[in-house]
Structure 1
Amino acid sequence: MEITQLKYHKFPLLLLLASSALYLSFAYDLVREDFIKLVTLYVALFFLSWKFFQLEKSNWQLLLGAGILFRLLFLFSLPNLSQDFYRFVWDGELLLEGVNPYLSTPAELLSSGIPLFENAEFLYNGMGTLSAGNHSNYPPLNQLIFAISTFFSGDTILGAVVVMRLIIIAAEMGIFYFGRKLLITLNLPENRIFWYLLNPFIIIELTGNLHFEAVLIFFLIWSLHLLHYGKWLFSAALLAFAVSIKLIPLLFLPLFFRKLGWKKAFGYYLVVAAVNMILFLPFLSTEFLSNYIQTIGLWFQKFEFNASIYYLIRWIGYQVEGYNILVYTGKPLAAATFLAVISLALFRRNKSTTGLITMMLFAMTVYYFLATTVHPWYLAVPVILCIFTKYRFPLVWSLVVILSYAAYSNVSFLEDLWFVGLEYVVVYSVLGYEIYKYNNPRRGNSHSCLSL
């Protein structure tokens, strides 16, 4: 950058340096129990990122460079807001040893006395009792990433983390490429991609804390780009890859029905199913199926964190029955989600790509509003989807979701429901305002954004 240019970019560069300093502090000098510091850094990064984007929104090269820089700052740090990476390395080590990671829990393997890899006990202690006591629920393509990362790790946990992080950064560059192309194709401002790429939530939760929603989103956006051009066969294969990272894209399948028509939609579903059957094939057994189905079911019947509607139902259950009714509410809430998605598929106009993505956003929103567990990083998919729509509430949600980390500030890991309540009051309020705004004829919106 020439000296004359530096004069015009002086303040943005100061913002860039300040953000870099805060990201370094976040990556190398933060423990999740320090809630005050966590929130302070997080909110400050949101403000700085917003100002930086506002000042340089037409300079996509500088914005992209900043996005890459912020991610690389985390490269040699261990995740400090999540301990899931210990389980990732564990599963990767098992695969390299030729052991099926779906058949036994870490606790069962460690107590069996069977010789394991060198750092098994350290990984077991790091992942925590919840992960150690349950079977792996990570699909095959995710497991492949774990194995590759462990193989090139240099026999160190940090080495595996670095490889995983590089894979995630590469995926996010793919998201930039296909996301920008899709925005241009849909006649939307291409700089919206930086609402995702420079979002501190995305940088911290995906690159920083090693959550593979980044790889899922890469396949999802590439799939939607191809679908827009009618290349449904390759689109289906890529969506299948997204499912093989995390199962959540299965939620979108009913929404493709009206866009494709029943014949192509049926073919689309067959391709998604066939690709995933092939990917799961090396692990298939009766025991695997039993363990995997049981593990997935536990998310609806055993785990609870950062929920909204479910917490209201739970409170009513305590008043009426005197105990936690989670075991009875998980399946009805899952059924309600399914019915809501089917309704969006059948009664909304999903033929345009923008309309389809809008329905995908609302399908996922309904799912998370009814879910018993909403970990912060789950919001990465709504954040990327919203940039192709009129709705911005996922961006607000990505800011206030940091309140859920208050649970880690005490040794007993008890959620502060006042913080959870505040989070959802803000999210529901913004969503309500946006629905009113885009569906109110008096405000110049003669048609509903929900019916695109």
Structure 2
Amino acid sequence: MKFIEKYSSLLTGVILILYFLFAYFLERTSFYWLLTLWVSLFTTTYLLFHAKKYDFSYLAGVSILFRLVFLFAIPNLSQDFYRFIWDGRMLFEGLNPYLSLPETFIELGKQPINEAAELYKGMGEMNGSHFTNYPPINQLCFYIAALIGNHSVLVSVIVMHALIIGADIGILFYGKKLLQRMRLPVENIFLYILNPFVIIELTGNLHFEPVMLFFLVLSLYKLSKKKWILSAVFLAFSISVKLIPLIFLPLFFNHFVNRDNSFFQGAKKLILFYLITLTSLLLTLIPFASGEFLANYGNSVGLWFRSFEFNASFYYLAREIGYLFRGYNEIAIIGKIIPLIAIAFIFSVTFFRKNKKMQELITAMLLSLSFYYFISTTVHPWYLATLLILSVFTKYRFPLVWSFVIILSYQAYANTPWKENLIFVFIEYLIVFLVFSYELNILKPNFKTKLT
């Protein structure tokens, strides 16, 4: 590594060129070109990380620099940003984005916002025919983009890139502080911050997981300092960006109700923690609150369980069994069962695993969310960002491997119309499950009773 360290500036330049090619010259239908750039970036980043592992300032600086390459780039692996811009401009015009469909306006020939037809075409018919499912603080980000770039898609994109880069800088800052409090190597944060998957999939493709994860990391940091009231507020903000942290709520039980406190004192803190979290979350919903909002939002979220399927693992096995015995896709039934199985697993982790210390709590979050994704009908690449940041504070590294092999899921977009090749999906999950099984065997999660 001394040889590589000597030429680390040259290596950094090569990585910058690779990101530039990715940002401005790649189409997602060109799968093998995509794969080549992806493997090249992971390889060169791995070499740079190990060469400059203990130079925190250098790695922090290049992590931000790599993100800035995408500042003026229109996302090339996702169309979702067009819906983000639509929702933000609806708010800018004083309209509630939860109460209408883009499709309805287009069919009626109406232009409620600037560039409505262009945005609808960009987001696609499927996205435009469903009610928005992005929570309020996420909508605030979209509104900020509209506030500055109401007449330009490119300016809106630049603003959203800047927001996401800012959130990642916040994760870098508080992630380092949390690692220090947990007495873990601070360079672990670069498993997330320097990861090409994060830079491409989140900064490049404008998925707002970094904003959610910033509030989640900040919440955990405040909790580690026993400032649990602030922790609850920031956890609510995290949920109000993306709903996924909701599944972590039961896991706080043993962190509050443990042998270090009297049961009643711990239970009192836990109840107050939940009340503050839920109250803070409800306050973010007030500007949009109505019966129609609840119905539309609930229906939109439910679609992810009842209708959509992409890059799944155990669900695809269940689907094939359904085809075998019933002759048709049983997603409507399986989609209802999946949340129940996930809840049962999360409660088993809550009550049968020691989650008192911060690392134990975060490990419980990692295992619970991993299980949920393993049985889900839909696992988009950007979903892995939460697993990746959680793994930074644990001994598990399978999310790092998954962040590399997730690129195989993009083979589906090489086909017109898109179609998954289940061989690629099988290879992806085979690698992930092998690494996960190995780590489970070596690290042996600390359950009170042997559940693994």
TM range (shorter): over 0.9
Instruction: Report the secondary structure of 1:174's partner residue.
Output: helix
Structure 2 CA distance for aligned equivalents of residues 154 and 240 of structure 1 = 29
Q: Residue in 2 aligned with 1:400?
A: 405
Q: What are the within-5 Å matches in structure 2 for residues 64-75 of structure 1?
A: 64-75=60-71
The percentage of aligned residue pairs carrying the same residue is: 49
Cα drift, residue 408 of structure 1? 0.3
Structure 2 CA distance for aligned equivalents of residues 39 and 242 of structure 1 = 32
- 2:351 aligned with 1:346, yes or no? yes
CA contact (8 A) 2:86 2:113 kept: no
- 2:77 aligned with 1:81, yes or no? yes
Q: Say what the alpha-carbon RMSD is for the aligned residues.
A: 1.4
1:189 pairs, out of 185, 189, 194, with 185
Q: Flag structure 2 segments of 5+ consecutive residues without an equivalent.
A: 258-266
- 2:106 aligned with 1:110, yes or no? yes
Q: Residue in 1 aligned with 2:228?
A: 232
Instruction: Report the secondary structure of 1:152's partner residue.
Output: helix
Cα drift, residue 449 of structure 1? 4.7
Structure 2 CA distance for aligned equivalents of residues 167 and 73 of structure 1 = 15
Q: Flag structure 1 segments of 5+ consecutive residues without an equivalent.
A: 1-5, 440-447
- 2:206 aligned with 1:177, yes or no? no
Cα drift, residue 118 of structure 1? 2.6
Amino acid at match of 2:115: N
Q: Residue in 2 aligned with 1:326?
A: 331
Structure 2 CA distance for aligned equivalents of residues 266 and 304 of structure 1 = 36
Q: Residue in 2 aligned with 1:38?
A: 34
Structure 2 CA distance for aligned equivalents of residues 58 and 114 of structure 1 = 57
Structure 2 CA distance for aligned equivalents of residues 145 and 403 of structure 1 = 30
- 2:215 aligned with 1:219, yes or no? yes
Amino acid at match of 1:273: L
Structure 1 CA distance for aligned equivalents of residues 111 and 395 of structure 2 = 55
Alignment TM-score, normalising by the size of structure 1: 0.95
Amino acid at match of 1:252: F
CA contact (8 A) 2:312 2:374 kept: yes
Task: Deviation per CA, 1:377-403: give whole Å up to 9, x if none.
Answer: 000000000011110000000000000
Q: Residue in 1 aligned with 2:376?
A: 371
Q: Residue in 2 aligned with 1:390?
A: 395
Amino acid at match of 1:217: L
Structure 1 CA distance for aligned equivalents of residues 205 and 29 of structure 2 = 15
Task: Deviation per CA, 1:288-342: give whole Å up to 9, x if none.
Answer: 1111111111110000000000000001111111111101100111100011001
Alignment TM-score, normalising by the size of structure 2: 0.95
Residues 383, 8 of structure 1: alpha-carbon distance in 2 compared, 3 angstrom cutoff:
closer
Amino acid at match of 1:342: F
Cα drift, residue 111 of structure 1? 2.0
Structure 2 CA distance for aligned equivalents of residues 78 and 374 of structure 1 = 23
Task: Deviation per CA, 1:214-237: give whole Å up to 9, x if none.
Answer: 000100001000101111100000
Cα drift, residue 451 of structure 1? 6.4
Structure 2 CA distance for aligned equivalents of residues 319 and 390 of structure 1 = 40
1:13 pairs, out of 9, 12, 28, with 9
Cα drift, residue 421 of structure 1? 0.6
Instruction: Report the secondary structure of 1:349's partner residue.
Output: coil
Amino acid at match of 1:46: F
Q: What are the within-5 Å matches in structure 2 for residues 117-266 of structure 1?
A: 117-153=113-149, 155-261=151-257, 262-266=267-271
Amino acid at match of 2:231: S
Cα drift, residue 154 of structure 1? 5.7
